[in-house]
Structure 1
Amino acid sequence: MKKIDVRKASKDDSKFLALSMLKSSRAGKKIGIFDLIFDVENDDILLEKLEQLTTSDIKTYCHYSNFFIATVEGKHVGTLCNYEPRIATPELLKTALEKMGVSEEYEERASMISLCGFESDKRTWMLDFLTEQDGFGGLVIIKELLKKSLLTASLKGYRIVHTIVEIGSADIMLVYKKLGFKVIDEKKCEVFKENFGRSGVALLEFHL
């Protein structure tokens, strides 16, 4: 395996981040949360919206500054979003989306889905959008991304790391379990199943 470099994402990475966010949110499903939020059927338009979100002046959890990028010989091969729930709040996301012109129906759709989620724990370091490009298996890239993230979390004083995985998303669940995460809670609800075909979500935890 050639040398893997992990660095903070920049604004120039927005296209790759948009692709990674879309891939991660769908996770083998026909649609994901961003399909519901932006309510567009054209992936090119959806990716443009996600690029705007990553580079918005309002720093939501989707902002490029919250991402690490893994590269091999300059080629993007993986991403990981890490953020502090006490800073990147749901209210910030709502404000950013409104600024982008997302319809008021977003609030209804998002509130329905949020019922299937977990309350943000402001004492935790949160992970999302963990992706690895096809052809780079063996968890090597994911481990490097996670190592960088956990070091950053530790330096900021965090001792608990959380991530949320859809129930039935076997591949990513297995990845996190191999990396030492444990399922500490599950939430099943009908609205999640109706929208995504999955029964709900699981909360995973890792102690530093």
Structure 2
Amino acid sequence: MKIRKALSEDAPFLAQMILQSSRADKQICIFDVIFESKSDEETLKNLEKLTTTTAKNQCHYSNFLIAEIDGESVGSLCSYEPRIATREVFLDSLKEIGRDSNAEKFLEILDSCNFDLNKRTLVFDYMEEIEGHMDVGILKALMQKSLLTARLKGYRIAQTMVEIGSLETLLYYKKLGFKEAKQKECELYKEKFGRPGLVLLTFEF
């Protein structure tokens, strides 16, 4: 297995991982709402664009590590600094790709279910692996590599958010050493996505 930094040409794979992670067995996810997509193809195309914008939003390819087995991309992990990949930067990215007409809805959902994140933490997101490659240590290898880089940058705490009810994902993060810090139930989130809200998990290293 090889772990490497993502490149702009990895955009189609990253889009697939972001969508897989965001949907998490739901009918729709936040990106379907933002892009007002009529199909998965449309959502994926817009996500591809989002990973390669000039504004370095949290989905930007430069935040990703990719795991490869025999030259095939099999897993991803995004780690970003919330003080750099701010909500303003995300909105700039949406404007850049001409998909900012629904930004208000996105902000409304975000505000209804938001944790006040410590700016001195690193955020993990889109930790995913493709079907058929579960449990071969892909996510653990991605996380170890990411934590190594984070330490060099002076970070000591990583955080991630998981939907309430995503038991499998929650279990996996706990297996990797994350602990539950806070839980937030949000009516609007439940109304949109059928999940009661979010759980904030932290990992000290």
Please state which band the TM-score falls in when normalised by the shorter chain: over 0.9
Partner of 1:168: 165
Tell me how far apart the structure 2 counterparts of residues 105 and 55 of structure 1 sit (CA, whole Å): 20
Aligned match of 1:73 in 60, 67, 70?
Answer: 70
174-183 vs 133-142, greater mean Cα deviation: 133-142
Counterpart secondary structure, 2:150? helix
139-148 vs 103-112, greater mean Cα deviation: 103-112
Tell me how far apart the structure 1 counterparts of residues 52 and 101 of structure 2 sit (CA, whole Å): 22
Paired residues in the alignment total: 205
Aligned match of 2:147 in 141, 145, 150?
Answer: 150
Counterpart secondary structure, 1:102? coil
What does residue range 41-190 of structure 1 map to in structure 2 within 5 Å?
41-138=38-135, 140-190=137-187
The gaps in structure 2 that reach 5 residues or longer are none
Please report how far the alpha carbon of residue 120 of structure 1 lies from its aligned counterpart in structure 2 after TM superposition: 2.9
Using structure 2 for the length normalisation, give the TM-score: 0.97
Tell me how far apart the structure 2 counterparts of residues 114 and 51 of structure 1 sit (CA, whole Å): 25
Stretches of 4+ aligned residues off by more than 3 angstroms: none
65-74 vs 111-120, greater mean Cα deviation: 111-120
Partner of 1:21: 18
Using structure 1 for the length normalisation, give the TM-score: 0.95
Please report how far the alpha carbon of residue 103 of structure 1 lies from its aligned counterpart in structure 2 after TM superposition: 4.2
CA RMSD in angstroms comes to 1.1
**Counterpart residue identity of residue 81, structure 2:** E
Cα deviation 1:71-100 (Å, max 9, x = unaligned): 001001100000111111110001110222
Tell me how far apart the structure 2 counterparts of residues 7 and 130 of structure 1 sit (CA, whole Å): 14
Q: Is this contact kept in 2: 1:5–1:71, CA < 8 A? A: yes
Tell me how far apart the structure 2 counterparts of residues 36 and 108 of structure 1 sit (CA, whole Å): 8
Distance 1:139 1:172, change over 3 A: farther
1:200 aligns with 2:197: yes
